[in-house]
Amino acid sequence: MYGFIGIMWLLILAGGGILVLAVSKISISGYGNEIDFLVASVIKAVIAILFVVVWIVVLSKLKNRIFQKQIAS
């Protein structure tokens, strides 16, 4: 159980770091200031949502594996 909680926090911290470092650098230019900001924001939001979905899937699989081992023993 503590392993699950520890890995959950590691994924949250690592994902936050990845989002801050990678996603914040995305910028679009060439469509006008307002459109550039809008397009860049949409791209950043989609990437962030995809990361969250991946984290949920990984944590769900990890939780199932941990609890199946506990039930088996």
pTM score, whole prediction: 0.69
pLDDT-derived band at 1, boundaries 50, 70, 90: low
Q: Half-sphere exposure of 20 toward its Cβ, with a 13 Å CA cutoff?
A: 6
Q: How far apart are CA 27 and CA 50, in angstroms?
A: 18
Residue pLDDT, tens place only, 2-47: 777 787 788 788 878 888 888 888 888 888 888 888 998 999 899 8
**Local structure of residue 22 (DSSP, 8 states):** I
